[in-house]
Amino acid sequence: MAATARKCIGLECTNDAGTLQCPTCLKTGTDSFFCSQDCFKRSWTEHKTIHKKSNLLINFFPPKVVSEPDPATGHFNPFPSFQFTGPLRPVYPLSPKRTIPQSITHPDYARDGIPRSEQRLVGRHNITILNKEEQEGMRKVCRLAREVLDLAAAAIKPGVTTDYIDEVVHKACIERESYPSPLNYVNFPKSVCTSINETICHGIPDQRPLEDGDIVNIDVTLYHKGFHGDLNETYYVGDKSRANADAVRVVETARECLDKSIDLVKPGMLFRDPGNVIEKLAKSRNCSVVKTYCGHGINQLFHCAPNVPHYGKNKAVGTAKPGMCFTIEPMINLGTHRDRTWPDDWTSTTADGSLSAQFEHTLLVTEDGVEVLTARLPDSPGGPIPIPVAEEKNGN
């Protein structure tokens, strides 16, 4: 799950926002992110006035009723008046929230959606250095996360719903005595992110069946014995030998962008450097790089320092050192780099409806290089296919 570069909305505050949101705004579906609890308290007197305005608007302009369910299936589009940028539509109702046995260690946000442990570190640039025991904890959870992603990928075929993939992931996590990290993280309703076609990231699994020719990203994160492991891949739905040339170009470009950026990782690498390599390759293929979301530190916390932007000429702070763990997860679009979020406050799509693809690994900096903790196994589903020659020539 990608970290988001947001600005704090606190009074006279210029810091980047954390994951802390106003609880009242959360209930009304309004975005309002703050950098810290102190900033939220300082801004409360001014901020709370927007709640009164919101209530007045609701009284004068009652919200529109969602579309009528299909009589045959009971399915419906919850946002019928929203101007979608591409052909993809949400297919509700969502299945009931899945539960996790109490015997499995839960992260602090599992109950109410608030990742308090992350909020305590908002605004700090200190990057955690993991000791040998902690590094082993990360290796273990990342191996499990790879197993779960591979099981989910094996379930991909035309006609399968992303809700079913969520069920596969959820059950596989429980079998491995792990908590699916996305579940209730800032109120995310499912155990995995499934992002189809023009969806950049954070797609919510629903009742839409996958179609032959789709591309779908599956983003899995596990929380096991106090550590998070995060990875994702984009897969072709149906016979990949017949995949659309544009789909192949964006998927394989995203895959190569991740691979080439990982080649840079070693002690002394600046966190601003991967973006330069990623953007150069993407532009050579006539693709763009999403700027809103970035790679992130990961360890006992789901998201923490450092931020690792994927675009060129960024101003990321920090240098890689042995013992640091973080993700790189470039999101590559066929068209504009700009994004637009659905009214569910999670699903991020391309602003022009063009295809998007993403790949992610969790990385551990070693004394002389990098260890890819979520590396593919010899029998992992998916994998690269050649970019059609005509497409490659057009992109270079």
Answer for the pair 231, 374: CB distance below 8 angstroms, yes or no. Answer: yes
For the purposes of burial, counting CB atoms within 10 Å of the CB of 151, is it exposed (0-12), middle (13-18) or buried (19 or more)?
A: middle
In this predicted structure, what is the pLDDT of residue 139? 98
Check pLDDT > 80 for residue 44: no
- Residue 146 in any domain: the answer is yes
In this predicted structure, what is the pLDDT of residue 33? 74
Q: Which of 33-42, 148-157, 266-275 has the lowest mean pLDDT?
A: 33-42
In this predicted structure, what is the pLDDT of residue 27? 52
Mean of pLDDT values over 297-311:
97
Q: How far apart are CA 240 and CA 248, in angstroms?
A: 9
In this predicted structure, what is the pLDDT of residue 114? 96
Mean of pLDDT values over 258-273:
98
Please give the single-letter amino acid code of residue 79. F
Q: What is the pTM of this model?
A: 0.84
Residue 158 sits in which domain range? 116-395
- Residue 78 in any domain: the answer is no
Check pLDDT > 60 for residue 95: yes
Residues 344, 200, 395: CA angle, nearest 5 degrees:
160
Q: In what order do the strands lie in the sheet with 339-341?
A: 199-201, 348-350, 339-341
Higher-pLDDT residue of 371 and 41 is 371
Check pLDDT > 90 for residue 358: yes
Mean of pLDDT values over 43-72:
62
| Number of structural domains the chain divides into | 2
- Residue 95 in any domain: the answer is no
**Which among 42, 60, 78 is the end of a domain?**
60
Domain CATH for 306: 3.90.230.10
Q: What is the mean pLDDT of the chain?
A: 91
In this predicted structure, what is the pLDDT of residue 13? 74
- Residue 76 in any domain: the answer is no
Check pLDDT > 90 for residue 169: yes
Mean of pLDDT values over 234-257:
97
Element (H, E) at 246: helix 245-262
**Which among 20, 42, 60 is the end of a domain?**
60
- DSSP type of residue 319: B
Q: At what angle do helices 245-262 and 273-284 cross, to 10 degrees?
A: 150
Please give the single-letter amino acid code of residue 247. A
Q: What residues does 325 pair with on adjacent strands?
A: 364
**Which among 24, 42, 60 is the end of a domain?**
60
My answer on whether 31 and 129 are in the same domain is no
Mean of pLDDT values over 246-250:
98
